[in-house]
Amino acid sequence: MIFDIIYQKTALDNMEIFQSFFQQNETFLEFIYGLTFFVLGVAISLQSRYSSRLELARSLRWLAAFGFSHGLYVWGKSFIPIQATYLYPSLAHGVHFLHLLLLILSYVCLFEFGIALLRPFRISKTLNWILAGWHTLFTLLMVSVSLSTPFDLKTFHDHIEALAGYMIAFPSGLFAAYGLREQTYRLIAPLEAPYVVSMLRTAGISLAVFGVLRGFVPPPVQFFPGNWLNLLTFENTLGIPVLVFLVLAGGVLLFSMVRALEVFHVEMERTIEHMEQQQILLAERERIARELHDNTLQMAYTAGLLIDSARKLADPDSAIALRLDRAVQALNEVIAELRRNMNTLHSPLTGEAPRQAIRQLTDDPRFRTLVDIHLEDALPENWTLPPRHSGHLLAILQEALSNVVRHSGASRVTLHLHQDEKGNTLLILEDDGTGLPAQIREGYGLRNMRERARMMGGTLTLSNRSPEKGTRLALVIPPERTSPPEWTRE
């Protein structure tokens, strides 16, 4: 019995020590709590500078707004009472009212984050109406409380904070957690990035914990359940204030979301990898097409000339002449089939008009999501290129854009198209990246670009922009010269 009394007294003494420690450091804990959410907003805002095709990217702006607004609200709890001593009473009341609006705004942003996460799955259509009605009900209750409560600033603040927690913070945390879970398993998991999936799952749990704590542990109020479960009863029961758990939940949320943002780097790496594979495939298709044109097709022409010369030596009415006529006909069909295969092997864009194909390439999401491309087309309306030149031009442009994305670190690319007084077509590509190194090692891609320019009879130069920062690629294509006709037999 004596030992039980000593144990209980020791436990009570330890709880009082903990409570005293947390009370003395409450301002410091609130600063850390606010800083955690403010840094969350900054980290997500920095990520928003980069484009992405992931649905998650379009939802994160709401989470960033929540982080900023909630962090400022928490800091306001410490600084506004200090500033209120220097303000007129009416102005001080206005500042406290704005402080409450900031809290409500933060919860609404978190609610919108959850709705935005669910929007791709068509789950949120009715939720928008529910959200509007729910917020309207909250506004009516807030007005009712303000009219029925004696005008005591602290009592009014506590009542509105409790209502905002019950009606907005709790459902917001749950919706955000559920929406993040759906996004993770339906859209992020197929990227095969298990670490990102684990971090997003942890972030969802943190949001749910935040919603429960902010929703069901309000300041002491006069109505149920706030008069039974509140900040004081929570601390008296556990010996640790709810602020400590909120700091931990915010820290876990910040850590997991910052690490989960690596999903955008994974997306960029996959996009670049896909572009490299497409470049290799395109180069191989072009090589096969050139082999067919330079070797196989020329051999077929030679065979046709030999058969045609033998046909002239034979008697026109003989069986040999008939057989030779059929051989020439079959050979012409082979040549036509080779030509169709060559056109198929060229870039799919070469089937379009060159101007339309260039615009289609610059609007390609593979590039648009990674860099801002601005097209300045000053070419004449009737401008065109031969099909064989169009394929080379588009391949050069595609390789140049791929190099900008992979190596330059640029955020903006400008493509100028125009003709000079001699009729030369000029394609100038400028970026705002890091520029060329002092020593350039020409890889396969750059050599292939120069070779294609040479096959068009043009020139390709690569240099640093001056005085601006970045790289400048200039391709000059001269007017088409008349080439000798290829052999065929009518």
The answer to whether residue 265 is domain-embedded is: no
Helix (H, G, I), strand (E, B) or coil at 430: strand
Residue 278 sits in the same domain as residue 208: no
**Neighbouring C-beta atoms of residue 282, cutoff 10 Å:** 20
Helical (H) or strand (E) element with 320 = helix 319-345
The answer to whether residue 203 is domain-embedded is: yes
Helix (H, G, I), strand (E, B) or coil at 321: helix
**CA angle 256–253–59, rounded 5-degree value:** 85
274 close to 366: Cβ distance less than 8 angstroms: yes
Residue 245 sits in the same domain as residue 378: no
Q: Which whole-number Å values give the CA distances from 37 to 33, 40, 49, 65, 299, in the listed order?
A: 7, 5, 19, 10, 72
Instruction: Give the separation between CA 393 and CA 168, rounded to whole angstroms.
Output: 57
Residue 120 sits in the same domain as residue 155: yes
Residue 204 sits in the same domain as residue 164: yes
Indicate the length of the chain as a whole number: 490
Residue 443 sits in the same domain as residue 354: yes
The answer to whether residue 153 is domain-embedded is: yes
What is the torsional sign of CA 451, 456, 458, 464? negative
The answer to whether residue 118 is domain-embedded is: yes
Residue 216 sits in the same domain as residue 150: yes
374 close to 414: Cβ distance less than 8 angstroms: yes
- With CA atoms as reference, report the closest residue to 34 among 208, 250, 245: 250
The answer to whether residue 58 is domain-embedded is: yes
Instruction: Give the separation between CA 19 and CA 24, rounded to whole angstroms.
Output: 9
Domain termination site, one of 227, 260, 293: 260
The answer to whether residue 174 is domain-embedded is: yes
Q: Rounded to two decimals, what is the model's pTM?
A: 0.65
Q: Which residues pair with 413 in a beta bridge?
A: 373, 431
Instruction: Give the separation between CA 90 and CA 477, rounded to whole angstroms.
Output: 74
Q: What is the dihedral of CA 193, 195, 200, 202, to 10 degrees?
A: 160
User: What's the token pair of residue 133?
Assistant: 């009605």
Instruction: Give the separation between CA 370 and CA 433, rounded to whole angstroms.
Output: 13
Residue 45 sits in the same domain as residue 106: yes
The answer to whether residue 266 is domain-embedded is: no
Residue 61 sits in the same domain as residue 203: yes
Helical (H) or strand (E) element with 256 = helix 242-260
The answer to whether residue 77 is domain-embedded is: yes
Neighbour-count burial of 228, counting CB atoms closer than 10 A to its CB (0-12 exposed, 13-18 middle, 19+ buried): exposed
Residue 65 sits in the same domain as residue 210: yes
- With CA atoms as reference, report the closest residue to 197 among 208, 206, 211, 186: 186
* 307-356: pLDDT as tens digits: 777 877 777 777 787 887 788 777 777 777 777 776 666 555 554 578 88
Residue 367 sits in the same domain as residue 283: no
Instruction: Give the separation between CA 104 and CA 409, rounded to whole angstroms.
Output: 40
| Owning domain of residue 447 | 350-490
Residue-wise pLDDT tens for the chain (490 aa)? 554 544 454 544 555 666 676 677 888 999 999 999 999 999 998 876 566 667 788 889 999 999 999 999 999 988 887 777 777 777 877 888 888 889 999 998 998 898 888 877 765 556 667 766 776 777 777 667 666 656 577 888 888 899 889 988 999 999 899 999 988 988 888 877 888 899 999 999 999 999 999 999 999 988 888 899 999 999 888 888 999 999 999 999 999 999 998 887 776 666 666 666 666 676 677 777 777 766 777 777 777 777 777 877 777 777 787 887 788 777 777 777 777 776 666 555 554 578 888 888 888 776 776 788 899 998 888 888 877 778 788 888 888 888 887 778 788 899 999 998 888 899 999 998 888 877 777 766 788 788 888 888 889 998 888 777 889 999 999 886 533 333 343 3
Residue 45 sits in the same domain as residue 185: yes
CA-derived radius of gyration, the chain = 35
Q: Return the amino acid letter for 102.
A: L
User: What's the token pair of residue 277?
Assistant: 């594979």
Helix (H, G, I), strand (E, B) or coil at 469: coil
52 close to 369: Cβ distance less than 8 angstroms: yes
φ, ψ at 223 (rounded to 5°): -115, 160
Q: Side by side, which strands form the sheet with 412-419? A: 372-377, 412-419, 425-431, 471-477, 459-464
Domain termination site, one of 260, 280, 304: 260
Helix (H, G, I), strand (E, B) or coil at 382: coil
Residue 298 sits in the same domain as residue 443: no
Domain termination site, one of 260, 295, 328: 260
Counted domains in the chain: 3
